[in-house]
Structure 1
């Protein structure tokens, strides 16, 4: 067998050569951040200014005795600061029409339904903005900046419906809380966590080269769902990708919050780039 996937099911994108913007908000060159070398030897990632601007939250988190308590404090803080209480979630404009308020929890919920919907574009846009990494797939391969597919992605990631409540700042706080929780409670307790993703093809990923045996080198989309449960991952595709993800690239994991719409799926949201993955059966 020549390989696990037919060549026609992969794509080559200009974004392989150009991984992302020349600047980002984490202070590490985007080219390095996108490389598999970074994943092998990760460095701490911090979104500049986020913890400093919300120092009261992190001071309160420091007094928590366990992750569940900290998750409750974080969700209460987000609810108050961004108006997620049930009576505030939908306001009214001057004409009396009900107004949608963007929420990080709503984005997680809708991502779980379909990562290629407009909410998925917002998440990919946030990664592009903060980490500098270009997405490689949204509904179809993103093969160039002047293509209809890229224009559609840009249109959806900038939709005003999702940007009326500082949604990027909400995601900044979610990432910083995730990284704080990992360091504070050592959950996950390692520098890397082994994760799985079920796929039917490599159509969403850019091949970068071969590895040893069944290992291949790919550029994952700039944000990707994985599962800690191999059996769960196998329900989403004929093949299972296995990889070691550095915990500094985690935006979200299943035990991070006491209540969230992805509970029960053992799901992790991972910042993408170049990864060495194995095809397992």
Structure 2
């Protein structure tokens, strides 16, 4: 029993979405997904979601979203005349924001921003990460210590960043339901691709040679909208049917430069059935 407790690959945590984490991570859920909502988020911000319903298109909606979060979390940069009333420490203060976090993820998914995002997924969805700079295998280990330190560091993990991400997830889900901005293979799935070079350690069933296999992806991962884009990130390209309810960010959801890759979709991981091909 103690040996099982030392194996993070068998770990799950409680969550705030009402679906047991082992089920949420499974291929069965991916095949038959159900809507996901983080408990209390929409109820705590009724003004935002009421305002969004009055939007005429996605551009207007994301402007509303950005403006609301800038007020709710103090993300607006002070004007020059306002800085004089702030103390020197307050002027230098790093205010974490959803935008800075996503930009950090885009630069390096295994950096401090990536650790905070993975920690948020643990907290809200109960999915434990499997990789951060190195495989998060037996616990404790240097890899686990490094991950825990980075996800708790104040550079990104301040200013209620988890609550900001909660709103981002709910806004994304609202936008996908309201405007259907991406082509879907079924009413509940997106056809996406992921490039990888670390394939063998991810395989749970099947083989790369047979082209059809089941892989375990990290608790939050990036996908691409095309196989050509995905092939830039690895020699093997996985074709994946990703439940819409697992998507956190998709192209054109947010204004301005947010992610490095224009065709990047960020979604929850877990166990996925994939079609693999070598590029």
Question: Which runs of 5 or more structure 2 residues have no equivalent in the other structure?
Answer: 1-5
Do the aligned residues in 1 keep the contact of 2:189 with 2:244 (CA within 8 Å)? yes
Partner of 1:4: none
Q: Could you say what the CA RMSD is over the residues aligned between the two structures, in angstroms?
A: 2.1
Partner of 1:32: 23
Distance 1:67 1:95, change over 3 A: closer
Q: CA deviation at 1:229?
A: 2.0
Partner of 2:3: none
Q: Map of 1:81-96 to 2, 5 A cutoff?
A: 81-87=72-78, 95=89
Q: What secondary structure does 1:145 align onto?
A: coil
From 189, 199, 206, give the equivalent of 2:202. Answer: 206
Residue by residue over 1:217-256, the C-alpha shift from the partner in whole angstroms, topping out at 9 and shown as x without a partner, is 1110000001102211111221211111000000000121
Q: What secondary structure does 1:162 align onto?
A: coil
Q: Map of 1:5-154 to 2, 5 A cutoff?
A: 14-18=7-11, 20-21=12-13, 23-87=14-78, 95=89, 98-154=92-148
Do the aligned residues in 1 keep the contact of 2:9 with 2:137 (CA within 8 Å)? no
* Number of residue pairs the alignment of both structures matches: 265
Q: Which moved more, 1:238-247 or 1:93-102?
A: 93-102
Q: Return the alpha-carbon distance in structure 2 between the equivalents of residues 95 and 177 of structure 1.
A: 33
Q: What secondary structure does 1:160 align onto?
A: coil
Q: Return the alpha-carbon distance in structure 1 between the equivalents of residues 235 and 148 of structure 2.
A: 31
Q: Return the alpha-carbon distance in structure 1 between the equivalents of residues 164 and 224 of structure 2.
A: 23
Distance 1:46 1:95, change over 3 A: closer
Partner of 2:238: 241
Do the aligned residues in 2 keep the contact of 1:227 with 1:265 (CA within 8 Å)? no
Residue by residue over 1:160-208, the C-alpha shift from the partner in whole angstroms, topping out at 9 and shown as x without a partner, is 22222100000000000000111111233531111111122227x6322
When normalised by structure 2's length, the TM-score is 0.89
Q: Return the alpha-carbon distance in structure 1 between the equivalents of residues 139 and 91 of structure 2.
A: 37
Partner of 2:274: 277
Q: CA deviation at 1:263?
A: 6.5
Q: CA deviation at 1:54?
A: 0.5
